[in-house]
Amino acid sequence: MSARDNILKRLRERADGPLAAPESDFAVVTGRGWDHAERLARFERWITSVHGEVIHTSRDDWTKVLAGVLDAKGIRRLALGREHPVAAEARAALAKDEVILLDADRDIETWRHEQFHDTDAGLTSTRGAIAETGSLWLWPTPDEPRLLSLVPPIHIAVLDADTVEDTFFDVVEAHGWAGGMPTNALLISGPSKTADIEQTLAYGVHGPRVLVVLLRHAEERP
């Protein structure tokens, strides 16, 4: 029997019975009660306060808005997945454009140099967002690996307005993270930034210098 097993055995056989989980009050991290409009307003206020860009669009027109973003920012080489509906729609819409679409589902060793030196931007879907902190949350997959949102100088994230939730606790509870959390859950609260000893901020040193969120609404906004 290993040392670990011995310790666990002693804990299970305690004279005063097994240990019970302490009572926990999570009221402080949930129960904000914001309505949909307030949720979106808080998310946008926080993420733009740290230089994130939010562009509102309808679900029908988002690929046209994407094309406009690519043109405005001079993006000619875009890395993206193939299987996720966001990637599939983007590929179909951009098929006749001059933008070169790079497959992100390849083994990193086969396109390391291309990804780190020749890719202008990465496009990803999102699983949702957090209003309280202005954060996106992503679960990387082989189709949309985590480097897609961490390496290119520009990260374009597609977010559905109805997936924004109040707090991080609400996300964890609603989506059952305790029973199925991935190894690479990502929380993104703006472009990459760092500061030197004099507290001078620099963007893009350790990741994307620009974050663009395409916030998709179910219907055209009035």
Query: Residues 25-76: pLDDT tens digits?
Result: 888 899 999 999 999 999 999 999 999 999 999 999 999 999 999 999 999 9
Indicate the pLDDT class of residue 197, thresholds 50, 70 and 90.
confident
Going by C-alpha positions, the residue among 211, 102, 112 that lies closest to residue 153 is 211
Residue range 105-156, pLDDT digits in tens: 999 899 999 999 999 999 999 999 999 999 999 999 999 999 999 999 999 9
| Domains of the chain: residue spans and CATH | 34-217 (3.40.50.10420)
Q: What is the pLDDT of residue 221?
A: 55
The answer to whether residues 129 and 170 touch, using CB atoms and an 8 Å cutoff, is no
Going by C-alpha positions, the residue among 2, 10, 29, 21 that lies closest to residue 133 is 29
The answer to whether residues 36 and 43 touch, using CB atoms and an 8 Å cutoff, is no
Going by C-alpha positions, the residue among 135, 118, 127, 130 that lies closest to residue 191 is 135
**pTM listed for this prediction:** 0.86
